[in-house]
Amino acid sequence: MKTSTRQNTAVALAGIAVIGGLAGCSSAGADAEGTGSTSGSGSTSASTPAAGATSESSSGAAGSGADASALKDGTYTEDGSYNSPGGEESITVKLTLAGGVVEDLDVTSNATNPNSKKYQGEFVDGINDIVVGKSIDDLNVSKVAGSSLTSGGFNDAIDKIIADAS
């Protein structure tokens, strides 16, 4: 009887663990559902906000510590890279800076992995509402529309743009 009780308890605990794991996956999937778009050339540009777009702010632009008012106005383009489960990926960020404020933004997906293409597309669709009109010093994007890894590449590109504009 003790063996039967132990087996039943083990099965019940395993079932609870599986349900808990699936519940965590379903909320991440709901944020990322169906918001990506791509053009025929394989690049994606930011145009419409995606549901679930979030960001975090800090006192430095992605850790750079540059003073936005000291940055030169202009349009800057840089690639940012990050590691995904499918390997290294990159994203191209083109932004116009005026008085330390992001006036215009165009983000292009350079993903090669199908899963990365999906998440970069969702990121691109939601990033404008988070970034345009904000001081570059306040940018530290953490997650957009279910895409958290792409933000690492975006922040990498922002750091390079700040260095270019200094």
What spatial distance separates the first Cα and last Cα of the chain, rounded to whole Å?
A: 74
pLDDT tens digit string along 25-70?
433 333 333 333 323 333 333 333 333 333 333 333 344 455 666 8
pLDDT tens digit sequence for 83-130: 999 899 999 999 999 999 999 999 999 999 999 999 999 999 999 999
Q: φ, ψ for residue 97 (rounded to 5)?
A: -110, 130
Cα–Cα–Cα angle for 56, 125, 162, rounded to 5 degrees: 50
